[in-house]
Amino acid sequence: MKREHVRIVSVTAYDFSFARLLDKAGVDLLLVGDSLGMVIQGHSTTLPVTLEHMIYHTTAVVRGASRAMVVCDLPFGVCHGGGVAVMDVAARVLKETGCQAVKLEGGVHMQETIRFLCEHQVPVLGHVGLTPQSIHTFGGFKVQGRGADAERVMADACAVAEAGAFAVVLEGIPAALAQRITERLTIPTIGIGAGRQCDGQVLVMHDLLGLYDAVVPRFVKRYLPENTVHQAVGRFVDEVRTGLFPGDEHSFS
């Protein structure tokens, strides 16, 4: 797709029904992100998410996807053991969920781990820039790669690509840097808060639909008219209270 200048579309998914809906809508890559810790579980970071949670949600998403590629995010705390240990985790993910690839956060320091996984037939999606699992090191959800820090993010992206990742997520970095990385790498870049020059874009589904308002990053665009879901639920509440629902057409005789 990168070679043919076709932009890659990715959205996060966490369950069967939405995976099916997104798959039918033409989304190319369903990412079961550890963002589920925030938008599904209600935590303020992604750190509490476990491997079991990821496997549970990815299994459901795989059942809903007939065309899109499904990628499972490796959660915080399972990637520090080096190649063999992470390979055990990735093998378990691929065997138990049926997904096609794993995503892991980190650049230069994860290069050898990514290389090991790729050499052992595990497709890896990289993720550099504002990597949410490093939130405490960054001191919050802060844009990365500004000024002199740009070369660090560039080195991370190059390390991921050199190790064999099939694509890399660029999160929360200046658009000009994302463009330079996209031009430098032969693998596709998938941006989130990284401007329009990436080879593809990913958004968290709940952000795209305006269902999550605890943190709304500047890069989010809502595609559902404001309050649509809230209005639908409000109507249900009203119709039950006033006896309008269920009508005869929703009842058995």
Catalytic residues: 171
How far apart are the C-alpha atoms of 14 and 61, rounded to whole Å?
A: 6
SS3 of residue 10 by DSSP: strand
Whole-number Å distance between alpha carbons of 116 and 129 = 22
The interface region with ligand KIV, picked from 30-38, 114-122, 160-168, 178-186 by CB under 6 A, is 30-38
- How crowded is residue 122: how many other Cβ atoms within 10 Å of its Cβ? 20
Contact window for ligand KIV (CB under 6 A) among 27-35, 209-217, 229-237, 242-250: 27-35
Of 84 and 215, which has the nearer Cβ to ligand KIV? 215
Query: How many residues of this chain bind ligand KIV (CB under 6 A)?
Result: 12
Task: Give the x/- contact pattern for ligand KIV in 214-253, rule: CB under 6 A.
Answer: ----------------------------------------
Q: How far is CA 34 from CA 39, 94, 109, 113, in A?
A: 9, 16, 20, 19
Contacts of 34 (CB under 8 A, 6+ apart): 46, 49, 54, 73, 74, 75, 76, 132, 133
Nearest-CB residue for ligand KIV: 33
Least Å distance, CB 239 to ligand KIV, is 35
Please report which helix (H) or strand (E) contains residue 190, including its range. strand 189-192
Q: Name which position in 192, 194, 198, 208 contacts ligand KIV (CB under 6 A).
A: 192
Choice from 104, 130, 169, 198 touching ligand KIV (CB under 6 A):
169
First-residue to last-residue Cα distance in the chain? 54
Which residues 54-73 are close enough to bind ligand KIV by CB under 6 A? 73
Measured from the CB of residue 139, what is the shortest distance to ligand KIV in angstroms?
19
- The size of the chain, in residues, is 253
Question: Quick check: helix, strand or coil at residue 228?
Answer: helix
Separation between Cα atoms, residue 241 and residue 2, nearest integer Å? 53
Stretch that binds ligand KIV, among 32-40, 78-86, 110-118, 174-182 (CB under 6 A): 32-40
CB of 84 to ligand KIV, least distance (A): 25
Contacting residues toward ligand KIV, per CB under 6 A: 12, 31, 33-35, 73, 127, 169, 171, 192, 202, 204
